[in-house]
Structure 1
Amino acid sequence: MSAQQQLTPPAIGEVWPGQGGIYGGLRQYPEGQCHVIFATENVGRHAFGDYGTSVKAVSRTDGRANTEVMIARKGKHPAAVAAAAYTADGHTDFYLPAIGELHHGWQYAPESFSEEWYYQSSTQCSATSAYYVGFEDGWPHGDGKSYERVVRPVRRFLQ
């Protein structure tokens, strides 16, 4: 397969061979327009963590930045640790998606997620709560950081 064929994305919602998961389309990030790849599987149920402590994981659009903040807190954020530990097709750059990235998944690739589960985001609401998305309606909710919710890692790379 040529390099050009490898970088030609499939239809949104389909697995992109060699890229670690399900193609979620394009999104704008600080580094530019990026392809979004959702892992093909969940990595369990994990809490946001660090209940009662306000951390700087507040981006609604950049889960990678949020995850970096959370990982730096040395194991206090189980959902971020689980997402960052995920690997697929040799890619080790997965992270816990921000609330906007989860909502993007609900908009463009909802069949890749279960409507029965709530998915944890990396976006903090307050010292005691974090955002999550219910895929039955796509609505973002904020609730206790100690509740365990489903974690679906995501990665991105420049177009």
Structure 2
Amino acid sequence: MQLITVTHGETMLSTPNSALALEVLARITGAELSAPAVAQSAIPAIGEYWAGQGGIYAGIRQYPDGLHHVIFATEDIGDHAYGEYGTAVGATSKVAGRLNTDTLHSTDGTFPAADAASGYTADGHHDFYLPAIGELNHAWQNIAEHFSKDCYYWSSSQRSAGTAFSMLFGDGSQSYCAKFTERRVRPVRRFIR
């Protein structure tokens, strides 16, 4: 089933029936809405490029603040070190890469993988970050064909002062590597469903 997303201001509703969505949004917002006044865009199938969203659609994933659409960049952005080997940082979430990336940016030191991921932009979006290990696992489950099979990808999830988690898309194995090791980086972004 293909969903249509209908928006009005900051209110968004996804449904296979755009007429029903217009009616519900009109009741919620109190505005008189017609089809031309409301932006509509189809959510692509998992694994397809989502025009205007900056990358490949990886489906919906649960986060502490609710369900989010997950978009991975269309390509890798090089090999980078995690950074600050021997320093424990608070980037320990296995779920929320944005939280980890923000934590790394607010910590003294140099974090090349996180800097590269958050510096990535596509389709006007500047909210990319280094994915947590759980987000990389989500990508492996849903869009593994879009990743290189012969190298490890950094996550933003620290394991210890000297290591952080990484993932091999060839077989889905998760491991940890020394933070000074250069590993592949693939940015991700998300937005609430």
TM surpasses 0.5: yes
Q: Is 1:14–2:35 an aligned residue pair?
A: no
Is the 1:75–1:81 contact (alpha carbons within 8 Å) kept by the matching residues of 2?
no
Alignment of 1:44-83 (within 5 A): 44-73=78-107, 76-83=110-117
Deviation string, structure 1 residues 7-57 (Cα, Å, up to 9, x no partner): x31111110000000000000112210000000011110111010000000
| 1:73 shift after superposition | 2.4
Q: Is 1:104–2:138 an aligned residue pair?
A: yes
Counterpart Cα distance in 2 of 1:61 and 1:152:
16
Match of 2:190 among 131, 156, 159: 156
The alignment partner of 2:180 has SS state of coil
Counterpart Cα distance in 2 of 1:45 and 1:143:
13
Counterpart Cα distance in 1 of 2:39 and 2:171:
38
Counterpart Cα distance in 2 of 1:28 and 1:130:
23
Gaps of 5+ in 1: none
| 1:4 shift after superposition | 2.1
Indicate the residue corresponding to 1:147 in structure 2. Answer: 181
The alignment partner of 1:106 has SS state of helix
Q: Is 1:115–2:178 an aligned residue pair?
A: no
RMSD of equivalent CA atoms: 1.2
Greater CA radius of gyration, 1 or 2?
Answer: 2
Counterpart Cα distance in 2 of 1:129 and 1:117:
17
Larger RCO, structures 1/2 (Cα 8 Å, 6+ apart) = 1
Q: Residue 4 of structure 1 aligns to which amino acid in structure 2?
A: Q
Indicate the residue corresponding to 2:11 in structure 1. Answer: none
Q: Residue 54 of structure 1 aligns to which amino acid in structure 2?
A: A
Indicate the residue corresponding to 2:39 in structure 1. Answer: 3
Gaps of 5+ in 2: 1-35
User: Are the structure 2 counterparts of residues 53 and 18 from structure 1 closer, same or farther at C-alpha, using a change threshold of 3 Å?
Assistant: same
Is the 1:83–1:94 contact (alpha carbons within 8 Å) kept by the matching residues of 2?
yes
Give the TM-score of the pair, scaled to structure 1.
Answer: 0.95
Q: Is 1:27–2:27 an aligned residue pair?
A: no
Give the TM-score of the pair, scaled to structure 2.
Answer: 0.79
Is the 1:51–1:127 contact (alpha carbons within 8 Å) kept by the matching residues of 2?
yes
The alignment partner of 1:70 has SS state of helix
| 1:75 shift after superposition | 5.3
Counterpart Cα distance in 2 of 1:43 and 1:98:
16
Counterpart Cα distance in 1 of 2:107 and 2:182:
18
